[in-house]
Every structure is written in structure tokens, then in C-alpha cells.
Amino acid sequence: MGYGDTLPQVRRWRGRPVYETFLKRCLDVAIAGFGLVASSPIWLAIVIAIRIDSPGPAIFVQERVGLHGRRFRFYKFRSMHRDAETRLRDIQKHNEVDGPVFKMRRDPRVTRVGAFLRRTSLDELPQLINVLKGDMSMVGPRPPLPREVAQYRPSDMIRLSVKPGLTCLWQVRGRSTVDFDTWMAYDREYVTGLSAWMDLTILVRTVWAVLSCRGAF
């Protein structure tokens, strides 16, 4: 299923076409490539810790929605027990955020190692592969689940007009402490103001957001 027909026409609002079509991709490949090489020892430690802590694969693969509604395989280090998806219905009533997303501060599906990975954002490292593959960018709206997109309002669909990112304005302005409407407003702000300066600013601020573990759960 695609969502391209429902996307607003946003090209006239966006940043420089040369940056969007060429320089942004060069920046993505350079940062993601360096990040994969530099973090390889951390990957090994995380994989071992996950496998010791709970049964199941170290990498969690999930379908997400990307640019123009195209679906892709999204990678994360597994931070939950293997039956997390089937248990979601049982704890849905404990959702701590509004909108079509689910967030729970003390989610019983999260493993001990997973809680640490989420707090430090280390569970997101495998998305560097998504960036190299071209499914994602280093900066852009976070990639939603198909069931979330199915509940989007027309104004929310604008976030699908750019590649999803590993980090975004939501990530550096509060993450899970931000309500859904504000989150969508941040994404609209990013899409309409997309530029090299905005991306670089978000990347720098992400370092502090990750180190402080602010808003992560």
C-alpha cells in the first residue's frame, strides 16, 4: 500500500534542490559509513549482551513507512522480548502518549539490556545500514509504522514527503515527553525549512540529547 496520492505538495516550501538531491545523500553516506566503522566494537558488545540477556536475534527487523509512503525493512538492536508484538494489545490501555503511537515508560516487554540501549539510543545504531541503503537519511522525521500512518490526518502526511531520519527535531526537543501534535508540528517545520544548516544543527544537538538521555523511554 502506498500513500503518495495523499501527500501535500511541499516542493515549493523546501530547501535548496541541490542539497536535497545530492549533497544530503553525500553527507548521509559519509557519516553513516564512518559511524559503522567506528562503532563496530560496540556492535559486538551489544550483540553479545542481548543474546546473553534474553533468547532471540540481536537485530530486530520491522516494516516501516518511508519516502512517499514506500515501505522498507527497518533495523534496530532488539530491546524487547521476542513476543513483544503479540503482547502489545494487552498493554495498549497503558499508553502514555497521545496520537497513533505507543509509548510506555515502564514497558514490561523491554529487556534489562534493552532498557539501557533505549536510554542511551544505542538500539538505533543498525539504522546506519538503512541510511547507507538509501531508505533513510541521517536527519529527517522518524519512520512510522504502517498502522500509525493509517491514522494520520492529512496535515500529518507531509512528513512522508522527505526521507525518514535517524534523528530529527523531535529527537532534540524532548523526544517521548513531546505530545503528538507538537511532534507533527516539528516535522512540518523540518520539511518546510529543510537545509544543510538545519541538518548540521540537528546532528550536533543530537549528540547532547543522546548523552543526556533526555526524554528517552
Mean pLDDT by 10 residues, the chain (217 residues): 51 60 92 96 97 95 95 97 86 83 87 94 96 97 95 92 94 82 94 92 90 65
pTM: 0.87
> What's the confidence (pLDDT) of residue 106?
86
> What's the confidence (pLDDT) of residue 211?
79
C-alpha cell at 49: 549482551
Question: Taking the C-alpha atoms of 123, 129, 132 and 138 in order, what is their torsion angle to the nearest 10 degrees?
Answer: -10
C-alpha cell at 158: 507531509
> What's the confidence (pLDDT) of residue 13?
46
DSSP 87: H
CA dist., res. 68 & res. 59, Å (int): 26
> What's the confidence (pLDDT) of residue 1?
45
> What's the confidence (pLDDT) of residue 116?
95
What element of type H or E holds 73?
Answer: strand 71-77
